[in-house]
Amino acid sequence: MGFDPEALLYRLSPLPAPTGWLIAFSGGLDSSVLLHAAAALRERLAGPLRAVHVHHGLQPEADQWAAHCRTVCARLEVPLEVLHLHLEIPAGESPEAAARAARYRAIAGVLRPGEMLLLAQHRDDQAETLLLQLLRGAGVAGLTGMPRCRRWASGWQARPLLDFSRAALRQWAETRGLDWIEDPSNADLRFDRNFLRHRVLPLLRERWPGADKALARSAALLGETRDLLDDCVAGALAGCRAGSGLSVAALRELAVPMRAEVVRAWLRDGGWPLPDQGRLQTIDRQLIESEAGTAPQVAWADVSLRRYRGCLYAVPNPLPAPPTGERVWPAPTPLDLGPGRGRLLALPAARGIPVHCWEAGRVRVRWGESGWRCRPPGRRGHRSARKLYQELGVPAWVRPHVPLIFVDERLVAVGGFSLCELPLARPGEICYRPAWREAVVWPPTGEEDDGIS
């Protein structure tokens, strides 16, 4: 299949309408073709066109490459932003993977709301990706290859060249007389992708001339299968949600493979790192199938999965140190408690802290208090901290982080979980009920932490 700007426009037209277009421009062959073709179409594209170049600093020629990209974009009258990275390669991680992750993080930081990031991967890249994933033992999700279009960061990400071979792009570039950068690292056979590109795929093409097209077609078909599976998983996940957690009883009703998919989808929705296959099996054995009465947890990366009262919860690993000390809550407006500690909201309520207490500067927030007791409104007798937390279903790991709200020396609210003895409100006076939101140790949704009325 030959390439030209009209073929590019045909593949851009069905995409969601963006607020603008951002081309990831390395200066290599593929992104040079994409940039020049898009520039030729700019009058027919909705929204402005611009480019971004990431300066990794990994190659001696990196400054020259950035200068080349500036020259090309200036000639095409396409605004260019150059991002400079200072890479630190984590122990055990490949430089290639670390550079790729850092590159995407940097680009995500400059993507404008609703903007479409255009990437220049082509059909040969898709074939290489599929083979790499097969060799890594990937499942359906991994074997779908690189998606054509998806929501990403504050906008979108698309790969409009996946139908075209590297040879077709090179032919168009040579016909147009384009100049591009040849990255010497692309010939380094120590990298798995390069080994496949230069050693394995040529042999496959020699025996099966249509190998690239067939592999890309398989990836597309697996993508359709994945879409169907995602729909099934979304329905199962909806049936397993229990506030901010997952119901263990509901998970047990599912087949084991579906349990794993539901757990992965739930973690993905929460922005947590995903477990590998071995940890998924451990989660199933220790957190789902094990008997109640234990308090198991499974940790990986920076997340820990815990079970409490028949539900699974995801929390940071390790947990942050419990806060201490005291804060003044000066007005019935949102109070930011600090990184990871969440916010306190003051919700208008028939029963709550009278506004005159705020006006007099008497409302305080404390942590680290011990031995306190609370008598919830309408209840007989006081409850100890331990008893009240048990009644309210507050997990043990959350309790040291719960903000305690005082008026003078009187405990009036336990986070957003319960009111205690309240000061008397004046006739017609507005009252406010505290609610605790967005703490990393306890991120409930909806109204589940809005206290006892």
Would you state the structure tokens that stand for residue 62, as one six-digit string? 């990196």
**Domain final position from 282, 316, 350:** 316
Largest CA distance in the chain: 89
**pLDDT given at position 323:** 87
Least confident of 44-58, 101-115, 367-381, 413-427: 367-381
Enter the pTM of the model.
Answer: 0.70
> Mean pLDDT for the chain?
90
**pLDDT given at position 452:** 42
**pLDDT given at position 449:** 45
Give the pLDDT band of residue 102 (cuts 50, 70, 90).
confident
How many other β-carbons are positioned within 10 Å of the β-carbon of residue 40?
16
**pLDDT given at position 59:** 80
The pLDDT of residue 374 is above 80: yes
Quote the CA–CA distance of 277 and 139 in Å, as a whole number: 10
The pLDDT of residue 443 is above 50: yes
Domain range for residue 390? 326-437
User: Do residues 308 and 357 both lie within one domain?
Assistant: no
Question: What percent of the chain shows pLDDT beyond 90?
Answer: 66
- When divided into structural domains, the chain yields a total of 3
Give the pLDDT band of residue 366 (cuts 50, 70, 90).
very high
**pLDDT given at position 450:** 47
Q: How far apart are the two ends of the chain, measured CA to CA in Å?
A: 67
**pLDDT given at position 378:** 78
Output the domain CATH number for residue 31.
3.40.50.620
**Average pLDDT over every residue of 419-445:** 86
| Residue 214 within any structural domain of the chain | no
User: Do residues 37 and 109 both lie within one domain?
Assistant: yes
**Domain final position from 149, 174, 207:** 207
Give the pLDDT band of residue 416 (cuts 50, 70, 90).
confident
The pLDDT of residue 184 is above 50: yes
User: Do residues 192 and 229 both lie within one domain?
Assistant: no
The pLDDT of residue 446 is above 70: no
| Residue 44 within any structural domain of the chain | yes
Instruction: Please count the helices (runs of H) and the strands (runs of E) in the chain.
Output: 15, 22
| Residue 445 within any structural domain of the chain | no
Least confident of 19-33, 88-102, 179-193, 358-372: 88-102
The pLDDT of residue 14 is above 60: yes
Helix (H, G, I), strand (E, B) or coil at 196: helix
User: Do residues 170 and 258 both lie within one domain?
Assistant: no
